[in-house]
A = this chain, B = another copy of it.
Amino acid sequence: MTARVESDANQTGADRISDAEHAVMEALWAKSPQTAAEVCEEVCGQRGWSMPTVKTLLSRLVQKGALATQPDGRRFLYTPLIARSAYVGTESKRLVERLFGGRAAPLLAHLAENEALTADDIAEIERLLAELKK
């Protein structure tokens, strides 16, 4: 029972969530709590996974302190312990840090060049900026 580090549940900077794990988190962010079977129903199709795979990912996420379990009869209900917004926030920041020296503007520039910006996006961003300046 080697009492691992645990804690760090809310800090997104905690144990890194892998790509596959992220898919599971998304399912639970969309709706929680859910059982393993329910999560599988959502992701197994999309990613071509089998039940055991989802179980493994869920367990790892619990170990990492990203999910909480609450017993429901003989199975578990899983609930995110870290907020999606926190995760998304740190992930975004990481990227901006790594690729753009922490400046967000060049990111936007790149998205623009790569046609990753729709007209709607542009409009919305302008709204956001207006908000920010108020």
Contact = CB atoms under 8 A, between A and B. Distances in A.
A132 interface: yes
B125 A113 contact: no
A98 interface: yes
Contact of A104 (B93, B95, B117): B117
A31 interface: no
A56 B126 CA distance: 45
B128 A126 contact: no
B107 A92 contact: yes
Interface of A: 22, 85, 88-89, 91-93, 95-96, 98-100, 102-105, 107-114, 116-118, 120-122, 124-126, 128-129, 132-133
